Chain A
Amino acid sequence: MSPRTASRFIASASVAALLALLTTAPLGGPVAAKSPPATYVVQGVPGVELDVLVDGDVVESGVAPREVVGPLDISPGSHTLAFRSPDWEVSKSVDVAGSQDVVVHWPADAADEPIVTVFSNDVSAIGSDKGRLTVAHTAVVPPADIQANGQTLFTNIANGEFISAEVPATTYRVAVVPTGGGKPLLGPVDLKIEAGALTRVFAIGAPRDASMDAVVQVLPLPTSGGGTPKSVDTGSAGLVNPDGSINLARQSVWALVAAVFGWWPAA
């Protein structure tokens, strides 16, 4: 299975892995995120198709901008990843561990060649009606803010940085704006945040040639909490009156019974 073919099966395979995890995980405590290592390649260079090489071998050719390749069939440890275009080739060593995205993208300032930045994926458990949103700055723009539904959600993210939060699962109107104000660099666009999933957004490209764009990658997550409670039973003895005062009659009976059963003085 080629890496790109594999990418089409990421979701289903991960769901299967998740189900296996959930059925074997004991109850109590958030389910530990023990996902297998998975390294993805994100093509964040607009206007060019790239070949992706691992340790000198082409694993995928003609990768279009915004395309995500992976997970790569690659063992943990250090590997050399290279990205080749007709005009340039960048080659970097990458430590393969955990879930991560290897992004080839332009730096913030003018440069002859793109750079390679590795973003780790936080695949820990999340509440079942929330999604984890991570925004990565891999575009040729100065530090930026992220607005969601007109409100500033994240501030001052520079090229090569990311920011993350857990948010209610719904669709947001998202825009990337320069930190300090100005016209949006990207958007506003609708972004759906799925429940129980990690949604990663990579801002790529440059405003000067109108190549600003976004790559969106979604990975399923284990969920924590066990679902919304149906009941919260937080009392049993009837020692408290509706106004919060102590029910003296029941309190004295309780004290007597507690003394007999050896509970006293537990409180």
Chain B
Amino acid sequence: MRHSAPVTLTAVAVLLGGCGGAGSGATSSTDGEHPSAAGETSAGAAAVAKPAPSQVRAEPPVSVTFPSGRVLPVDPAETLPDGALAVPQDIHRAGWWTGSSRLGDPFGSVVLAAHVDSFSQGVGPAAELLSARPGDTVRLTGRHLAQKYVITSVRLVPQADLRRRSVVFSAAGDRRLVLITCGGTYDASLGGYQDNVVVVARPAKR
């Protein structure tokens, strides 16, 4: 276990080979042998540093697969000035909070949210999260990376308490996936669903 990096991801990038376009653009391809040293460029030009071969290029998730096998595309989602996360209105899409961790980051929550239902579209795929159980699996994919997670908890959290649960939004702690939708008692006079459903999933051991 000498090389047990904390991040163990399916590096699809290696299989696809040299897929350009991802990453910072400041770095060249690294999926190859360990170069012996820098400074071997043409005479006169300064060497340009390379990322180490073990560099993981974290990336935003682009799709999530629920335990049933249902796949939802994932869009980036910001927090609005009023503090509400701008979850996609389309119940068939999930939103990834852009302030949260990415696929491949070594720590923290990857936060996804999806509407459980809407007046215009009815019941959404995220409804299955209410009956998800520990042990069920969820899969997250990016353009080059993929990660399977195992659900460890499914909880109803009063909406006002969501922010106080550090596991939900924190950048700290072991890397995890947090799926959020709505649930609990529905009271139209109090604004609708009273709770958030919070599903926490940890990377599957391989």
- Listed in ascending order, the chain A residues whose CB lies under 8 Å from chain B are 27-30, 81, 92-95, 98, 102, 107-109, 115-122, 124, 127-130, 136-137, 143, 151-170, 180-181, 223-240, 242-247, 250-251, 254-255, 257-258, 263, 266-267
A92–B44 contact, CB under 8 A? Answer: yes
A266–B115 contact, CB under 8 A? Answer: no
A234–B115 contact, CB under 8 A? Answer: yes
The 5 listed contacts between A and B (C-beta, < 8 Å) are: A30-B98, A160-B47, A225-B100, A229-B163, A233-B159
Min CB distance A217 to B, Å, is: 14
Q: Which of B56, B99, B122 contacts A237 (CB 8 A)?
A: B122
Q: Which of A137, A223, A240 contacts B99 (CB 8 A)?
A: A223
- The answer to whether residues A236 and B117 also contact, given A160-B49, A229-B169 and a CB cut-off of 8 A, is yes
List chain A residues, Cβ under 8 A from B126.
234
Q: Does B162 contact A (CB under 8 A)?
A: yes
A107–B192 contact, CB under 8 A? Answer: no
A232–B162 contact, CB under 8 A? Answer: yes
- The answer to whether residues A161 and B163 also contact, given A229-B79, A266-B120 and a CB cut-off of 8 A, is no
Q: Does B13 contact A (CB under 8 A)?
A: no
Count how many chain B residues have C-beta atoms less than 8 Å from C-beta atoms of the other chain.
Answer: 89
A236–B119 contact, CB under 8 A? Answer: yes
- The answer to whether residues A232 and B51 also contact, given A120-B24, A143-B34, A244-B131 and a CB cut-off of 8 A, is no
B36–A158 contact, CB under 8 A? Answer: yes
B106–A167 contact, CB under 8 A? Answer: yes
Q: In the assembly, what is the distance between CA of A19 and CA of B87, in Å?
A: 27
A29–B51 contact, CB under 8 A? Answer: no
Q: Which of B83, B87, B105, B121 contacts A234 (CB 8 A)?
A: B87
A116–B115 contact, CB under 8 A? Answer: no
Q: Does B97 contact A (CB under 8 A)?
A: yes
B182–A163 contact, CB under 8 A? Answer: no
Inter-chain pairs besides A160-B47, A224-B98, 12 sampled, C-beta below 8 Å: A154-B54, A157-B54, A159-B38, A225-B78, A227-B79, A228-B99, A231-B162, A236-B118, A240-B116, A242-B184, A258-B120, A267-B91
Q: In the assembly, what is the distance between CA of A263 and CA of B120, in Å?
A: 6
Residue among B26, B35, B50 with the highest chain A CB neighbour number at 10 A: B26
B185–A242 contact, CB under 8 A? Answer: yes
List chain B residues, Cβ under 8 A from A163.
51-52, 54-55
Q: Does B45 contact A (CB under 8 A)?
A: yes
List chain B residues, Cβ under 8 A from A236.
115, 117-119, 192
A266–B52 contact, CB under 8 A? Answer: no
B window 95-117: CB within 8 A of A: 97-102, 105-108, 113-117
List chain A residues, Cβ under 8 A from B86.
28
Nearest opposing residue in chain A for B57, CB measure? A164
A235–B192 contact, CB under 8 A? Answer: yes
Residue among B36, B50, B58, B99 with the highest chain A CB neighbour number at 10 A: B99
Nearest opposing residue in chain A for B56, CB measure? A165
B107–A167 contact, CB under 8 A? Answer: yes
A226–B49 contact, CB under 8 A? Answer: no
Q: Does B181 contact A (CB under 8 A)?
A: yes
B47–A30 contact, CB under 8 A? Answer: no
List chain A residues, Cβ under 8 A from B171.
127, 129-130, 166-169
- The answer to whether residues A118 and B46 also contact, given A229-B83, A230-B83 and a CB cut-off of 8 A, is yes
Nearest opposing residue in chain A for B187, CB measure? A238
Min CB distance A127 to B, Å, is: 4
Q: Which of B36, B47, B53, B91 contacts A116 (CB 8 A)?
A: B47
- The answer to whether residues A244 and B130 also contact, given A93-B46, A229-B84, A238-B186 and a CB cut-off of 8 A, is yes
Identify which of B3-11, B14-22, B144-152 touches chain A. Answer: B3-11
Q: In the assembly, what is the distance between CA of A266 and CA of B120, in Å?
A: 7
Q: In the assembly, what is the distance between CA of A25 and CA of B37, in Å?
A: 41
Min CB distance A265 to B, Å, is: 9
A161–B51 contact, CB under 8 A? Answer: yes
Q: Does B62 contact A (CB under 8 A)?
A: no
A115–B84 contact, CB under 8 A? Answer: no
Nearest opposing residue in chain B for A263, CB measure? B120
Nearest opposing residue in chain B for A223, CB measure? B99
Nearest opposing residue in chain B for A116, CB measure? B46
List chain B residues, Cβ under 8 A from A238.
117, 186, 188, 192-193
List chain A residues, Cβ under 8 A from B102.
166
B window 44-92: CB within 8 A of A: 44-56, 58, 76, 78-87, 91
